[in-house]
């Protein structure tokens, strides 16, 4: 399985082609649109998000909601398209690089002076196309009861002290919360953080925890470095704009612990098969899923565009100039959590298809059942 | 550029083939052996490391120390080879899965009862083969003055409070220290941590910080998710056995900060070109290197094999049984730092060749110079 | 560079995303549409081709005709769309496999009874999406004066006895001919072949010769089997529906010749540099372009759908039944030649970008010039 | 599955790593050595082949002849090693490019004057490493009764007029013949061709036909151009040094035929399932194996090195000079046939694993059986 996205922030449309997805899977555009809507919600979003409402159009790969095994092409039209692929458009030239964006490094790499030609593709709007793929993958994983969910662990200086007991808990709690928190108090505190930052015309980042479960033991392998499912998840999650850290299970806190305190002892029972009572490994050992829930945290940096801009330089004049203001969200942590679930669902679907084949759902189910029998 | 490693921990040899590496680069086996030696050193290593002394043999790809552009094959013979590829060997069957290893998940995935057939490849010994590739890449990067270095930030519960001012500082300080610390006090404290854990027959993990500099602006791109250099670095570093977290620049601490405090403002001067006074981005913005030092931290979990083994299960009898003891290092953080530099050097070399071509060093230098002219 | 196409023959649209294409290249949709039109022309085409007129819509990757370096998404809407991705459509179930199509093998592979779900994607209509990519690549190659052209060497039992003296000759002659022949007599004879087959409700294949020139020495390499430009060209051309043979230069006729008669001796002159007086190698030696025109022939089997259908089987009843009739072209050799140029142009562009970098046209030109200086 | 080879013609050794090969397959080095020996035999080979006797050493990936699922590293030592990777060696500098070799194009591409540095890797000796992989794949395919065999169809101007009735026929006939012909008369005539060319100090090419059977229906797919098994086979076969043409089934002769004469009608019977009475498609339709034997022909150009050398140029002086003589085989068609079987076996194994999974032979067999049940 592989996919390519295309599209600029103010281009005509975002496009994505998903290739190698199995035949016979039921996929609805309503499920995709629901994920797209989640990506646009969340507190701390500015003006554009309010009016914009992304809708996917599926161009190919399905008949009557069932996949054909052929490439799935999906398009999201932009309502405020400004770029004209074949003619001169009205986008005003921009020459001042905004810090923490692609503007400077992108302009130098591609030898460009009009920063529009960099920022339009570098924009996080591209992630809407990924969300379409993620939703398709979630619908596939659901066939095996696998869910990928997430909650906000930290916004600004407030971090929750709750820990979810299982994936169902996260699923139920976050469904009710527009900040995707585990309880009301967390929600209140995080909204306060956003309110305070907004007043100061400042922006915030945060920490998101993603869970996937149940995940069958045996996805990924240690046989070659690039076949490990932890490495793939790290790549896919770090590829999300603004994400600067990824940790699995106990992650960075492993450093503080001794082996005897942190390694997950192994148990067996007839009905559960092999299992662990703890999950510091976050469901992955030696690059293979071990059957426990996959638990990953990612760190998101504060939104780069500030209402009170930082020092910068005009790339044409090379003179000092304040960065221009383009958008004014305070926080996009909730949106980022949807994209994080997306990239996680894609990575797991790929690993799943690697293990169980990918021609048709019927064959995958049959291969899957055969395998599951062998692991008890 | 791509590479494949092969070899089991007690097999005849580790082998690696590095393909797509440019012609005309000077590569010495002494430089490779020196990196291999560093990987085996460090406090907290048990018996095997003392006697074992890895030596690379270069089988192809070079003439008189100069690369031919052809695949570079390298072999490290194992002194204590036990596996016999074509006949019955004397390795005793093992059936008790060691927690935190590949043993359980690997055995289930591959439907195996003799854990030897899993652990032999899953062993971190494989990283010696990667170190050969990493050393070749470091020798290439040195042509452009780029160095990749690292130091130990934390072992067990002790974390240094020093921050290096530049890559040269790290290089000089760690050269003198067998724990790769930034000063003597850190070294003392970390050795104490190891000593204490060893007494308790326990093991320790830690945190390593890796720097690469100078790195030209423009490696990687945001054009497609899998082209980002941050995503590649995360993948390559998370693929190291026992690594459970990767963060770039301010990483997880970004969550605490507001945008105005954390984003790196942009400046310009005639002799420096564009630059930043801070480096919270860790040298990467929007998936592209921005010209500042690349700064990454990784978290390593404690060594999985414990001298005082944890609960586990015998895969044959399915009865409870203590995990067997195979090796008894207390900490491998220093070894891990060498592998981390390796994976970082490989990722950057690949991104470098993507940008500047890869046929021959002469052409790469010429392309590089042409580009550098355009970015000032 | 890579691309993915999507779309079924009677789906809503064909879609293609081209990724890794350099920034700064001038691309017009009129040039693409002109290639699309050529694909639909040629004698021997049945009804559908007459009314259908493909038009590309570029959704992203360009501004005012100049590429942004971002993925180029292109869409061709189908005028007679019948498949409904999200609802029941009116396509009548088909159960009789047509010989020489994907119908049987595809239905078995994907465990499908309604052959629509196989043939819709397997249809050669998909090649229209490739032609869009091919046209983009041709426009890129034109920057370096490189053209990719073709002519029909054989239709049915008539084979021309002319040999083109250079690429310009082919270009000029075929522009005037709707059968893409080298002269009028060939055209007459080939039209006669088509007319005769049509009368018999039969179909024809043929042989196409493709030329690309000038091609710089040094594309592709022998360093690893999958890096050879001949292997890539063979893969790309054999991937065209109905193509069953590929030969380069003297190809199969090499078998008849001795080495002394067939190998291209090497010469040097100040203004030409190194050159050959013959071109039996077809411009490729040891997997590398050698500077001479690349000359390739492909064989196309007769159109699979016959107006007078062959024996077959109903996949539902497993009873003997005549294959159903879907389309009734007599020959698609001219269309195939456009697709062949396409796949050739894509393969060469990829090899070109591999050698000279791919960030921006300006840098590619500069790298190219530096290299060219070294080869005289 | 993927593999990389390394090694120069007069380097220390050829090395190959095969990755992604399933666990639990029985592989013997004697079977590999037997293929290596076949590669060196055949009439028309000169001096070196007589003394040289390649032996594989398996370094990893197996225990007691059973694969571990880990990468298989194999090494063939060179008896006449001349290249020294780390020191000055005694290879005499060569400056005259031999026509039809990599010498000229390779030297220009890599900006090299000593042609040794090009020809050593470009040499067809590299194919010995591929043969090791091919033998491993043949041993895997044998589990499913699949064989890959070949015979010589043409050497010089003599082409056989026999056509094999099935794969067993080829297998039996060629086993007895040192020229791999279908009968004695062919052998006599082909030996005569070689004798005559040898006398004239000239060289010969030929045509080889490769068969693979039984091959299950459903390998490869038309869903994306690079997923077709015909395209993959074309790529793999065209990557063999000296191969200039590939045709599948009726291949180029399709051009002469009408659809009604050439397409393979479909039949069904209870014990055979779906089948065809003819096999013009060569076992592949629409990029998928259709269950019939895969039949491919390749064209090999005459050996490039001639005992009576052609005109050429000294790359240092740029003056006219006769090409130097390095080796003096007359024909290597038989060796080429072994390499052709190799590349075919590798391509089919990859497609097989794509369809049925690749973790362990036990699971592949179980998935395979489940699938086979569905296709009758």
Interface confidence (ipTM) of the complex: 0.97
D269 touches chain C (CB under 8 A): no
Tokens of D62: 């197996």
Judge whether B15 and B133 are in contact, CB under 8 Å: no
Q: What is the pLDDT of residue A132?
A: 98
Dig out the tokens for C179 from the structure. Answer: 């059968």
What confidence tens digit (pLDDT) does each residue in B112-168 have? Answer: 999 999 999 999 999 999 999 999 999 999 999 999 999 999 999 999 999 999 999
The residue-averaged pLDDT of C354-368 equals 95
Determine what percent of chain B is predicted with pLDDT higher than 70: 97
Which residues make beta-bridge pairs with C66? Answer: C26, C63
Distance, first Cα to last Cα, chain C: 29
Pick the residue from chain A with its C-alpha nearest to B228: A239
Q: In which band, very low, low, confident or very high, does the pLDDT at B38 lie, cut at 50, 70 and 90? A: very high
- By Cβ distance, the residue of D11, D60, D69 closest to B12 is D60
C63 touches chain A (CB under 8 A): yes
pLDDT at C49 over 60: no
pLDDT at A48: 57
**List of chain D residues whose C-beta atoms are within 8 Å of the C-beta of residue C100:** 259, 262-264, 281, 285
Please give the CATH architecture assigned to the domain spanning D2-83+92-375: 4-Layer Sandwich (3.60)
Q: Which pLDDT band, with edges at 50, 70 and 90, does C306 fall under? A: confident
Distance from CA of B314 to the nearest CA of A (A): 9
Residue B323: pLDDT band with limits 50, 70, 90 = confident
β-bridge mates for residue A305, sequence order: none
B301 shares contact with chain D (CB less than 8 Å): no
pLDDT at residue D45 in the model: 76
Angle at CA A351, nearest 5°, toward A349 and A356?
Answer: 90
SS (HEC) of chain C: CEEEEECCCCCCEEEEEEECCCEEEECCHHHHHHHHHHHHCCCCCCHHHHHCCCCEEEEECEECCEEECCCEEEEEECCCCCCCCCCCCCCCCCCECCCCCCHHHHHHHCCCCCCHHHHHHHCHHHHHHHHHHHHHHHHHHHCCCCEEEEEEEEECCEECCCCCCCHHHHHHHHHHCCCCCCCHHHHHHHHHHHHHHHHCCCCECEEEEEEEECCCCCCCCCCCHHHCHHHHHHHHHHCCCCEEEEEECCHHHHHHCEHHHHCCCEEEECCCEEEECCCCCCCEECCEECCCCEEEEEEECCCCCCCCCCCCEECCCCCECCCCCCCCCCCCHHHHHHHHHHHHHHHHHHHHHHHHCCCEHHHHHHHHHHHHHHCC
pLDDT, one tens digit per residue, over D249-293 is 999 999 999 999 999 999 999 999 999 999 999 999 999 999 999
* 3-state class (DSSP) for residue B76: strand
Average pLDDT of chain B to the nearest whole number: 95
Q: Is the pLDDT of residue D58 over 70?
A: yes
Is the CB of B376 inside 8 Å of chain A's CB atoms? no
Closest chain D CA to residue C299 = D252
Instruction: Indicate whether A286 pLDDT > 60.
Output: yes
pLDDT at D51: 57
Q: What percent of chain A has pLDDT over 70?
A: 97
Q: Do B105 and A289 form a contact (C-beta atoms < 8 A)?
A: yes
| Long-range Cβ pairs for the range D140-145 (8 Å, 24+) | D140/D21, D140/D22, D140/D25, D140/D349, D140/D352, D140/D361, D141/D345, D141/D348, D141/D349, D141/D352, D143/D25, D143/D361, D143/D365, D144/D214, D144/D216, D144/D352, D144/D368, D145/D214
Q: Which pLDDT score is estimated for B183?
A: 93
Put simply, the answer to whether D223 touches A366 (Cβ < 8 Å) is no
Q: Could you tell me whether strands B243-248 and A243-248 are parallel, antiparallel, or unpaired per DSSP bridges?
A: antiparallel
pLDDT digits (tens, 9 = 90+) for B195-254: 999 999 999 999 999 999 999 999 999 999 999 999 999 999 999 999 999 999 999 999
Name residues 97-136 of chain C within 8 A of A (Cβ): 109-112, 116-117, 120-121
Q: What mean pLDDT comes out for the span D166-174?
A: 96
| Contact: D370, A371; criterion CB under 8 Å | no
Q: Does B318 touch chain A (CB under 8 A)?
A: yes
Residues 6+ apart with CB under 8 A from D284: D220, D229, D230, D233, D248, D249, D290, D294
Q: What is the CA radius of gyration of chain A?
A: 22
- C364 → chain A, closest CA residue: A110
pLDDT class for B47, splitting at 50, 70, 90? low
Using CB atoms, which chains have 3+ pairs under 8 A with D? A, B, C
Q: What is the pLDDT of residue A49?
A: 54
pLDDT in tens, D133-156: 999 999 999 999 999 999 999 999
User: Above 90 in pLDDT, residue B308?
Assistant: no
- pTM for the complete prediction? 0.98
Question: Band of the pLDDT at D42, cuts 50, 70, 90?
Answer: confident
Cβ count within 10 A of residue B172: 12
Q: Does the pLDDT value for residue C52 go beyond 70?
A: no
pLDDT, greater one: A90 or C28: C28
Confidence check: pLDDT of A326 > 80: no
Asked if the C-beta of C84 comes within 8 angstroms of chain A's C-beta atoms, the answer is yes
> Which of D11, D118, D209, D286 should be substituted to probe chain C, the one whose Cβ sees the most C Cβ atoms within 10 Å?
D286
Q: Name the minimum distance, in Å, from the CA of D354 to any CA of chain A.
A: 7
- Token pair listed for A105: 């490094």
Q: With 80 as the cut, is the pLDDT of residue B48 above it? A: no
In the predicted model, what is the mean pLDDT of chain C? 95
Q: A233, A249 in Cβ contact below 8 A? A: no
Q: Is residue D202 less than 8 Å (CB to CB) from chain C?
A: yes
**Backbone phi and psi for residue D350, each to the nearest 5 degrees, phi listed first:** -60, -45
One DSSP character per residue, D115-144 reads THHHHHHHSGGGHHHHHHHHHHHHHHHHTT
- The packing angle between helices C361-374 and B361-374, to 10°, is 140
- Looking at the DSSP assignment, which residues form a beta bridge with residue B126? none
pLDDT at A359 over 80: yes
- pLDDT at residue B326, rounded to an integer: 63
Phi, psi of A280, rounded to the nearest 5 degrees: -65, -25
């Amino acid at each position: 399985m592989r996919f390519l996205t295309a599209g600029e922030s103010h281009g005509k449309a975002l496009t994505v082609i998903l290739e190698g997805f199995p035949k016979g899977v039921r996929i609805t555009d309503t499920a995709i649109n629901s994920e797209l809507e989640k990506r646009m919600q969340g507190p701390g979003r500015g003006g554009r998000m309010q009016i914009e409402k992304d809708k996917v159009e599926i161009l190919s790969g399905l008949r009557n909601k069932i996949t054909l095994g052929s490439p799935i092409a999906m398009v999201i039209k932009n309502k405020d398209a400004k770029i004209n692929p074949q003619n001169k458009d009205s986008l005003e030239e921009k020459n001042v690089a905004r810090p923490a964006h692609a503007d400077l490094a992108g302009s130098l790499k591609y030898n460009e002076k009009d920063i529009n030609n960099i920022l339009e593709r570098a924009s996080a709007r591209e992630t809407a196309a990924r969300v379409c793929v993620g939703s398709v993958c979630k619908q596939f994983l659901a066939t095996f009861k696998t869910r990928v969910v997430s909650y906000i662990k930290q916004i600004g200086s407030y971090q929750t002290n709750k820990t979810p007991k299982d994936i169902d808990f996260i699923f139920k709690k976050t469904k009710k919360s527009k900040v995707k928190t585990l309880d009301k108090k967390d929600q209140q505190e995080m909204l306060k953080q956003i309110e305070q930052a907004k007043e100061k015309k400042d922006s915030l980042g945060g920490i998101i925890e993603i869970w996937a479960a149940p995940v069958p033991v045996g996805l990924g392998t240690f046989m070659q470095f690039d076949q490990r499912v932890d490495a793939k998840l790290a790549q896919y999650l770090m590829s999300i704009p603004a994400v600067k850290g990824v940790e699995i299970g106990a992650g960075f806190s492993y450093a503080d612990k001794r082996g005897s305190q942190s390694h997950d002892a192994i148990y067996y029972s007839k009905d559960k098969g092999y299992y662990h009572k703890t999950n510091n490994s976050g469901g992955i050992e030696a690059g293979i899923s071990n059957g426990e829930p996959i638990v990953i945290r990612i760190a998101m940096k504060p939104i780069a565009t500030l209402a009170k801009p930082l020092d910068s330089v005009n790339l044409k004049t090379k003179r000092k100039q304040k960065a221009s203001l383009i958008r004014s969200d305070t926080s996009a942590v909730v949106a980022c959590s949807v994209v994080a679930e997306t990239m996680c669902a894609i990575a797991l679907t790929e690993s799943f298809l690697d293990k169980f084949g990918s021609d048709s759902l019927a064959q995958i189910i049959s291969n899957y059942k055969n395998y599951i029998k062998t692991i008890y």
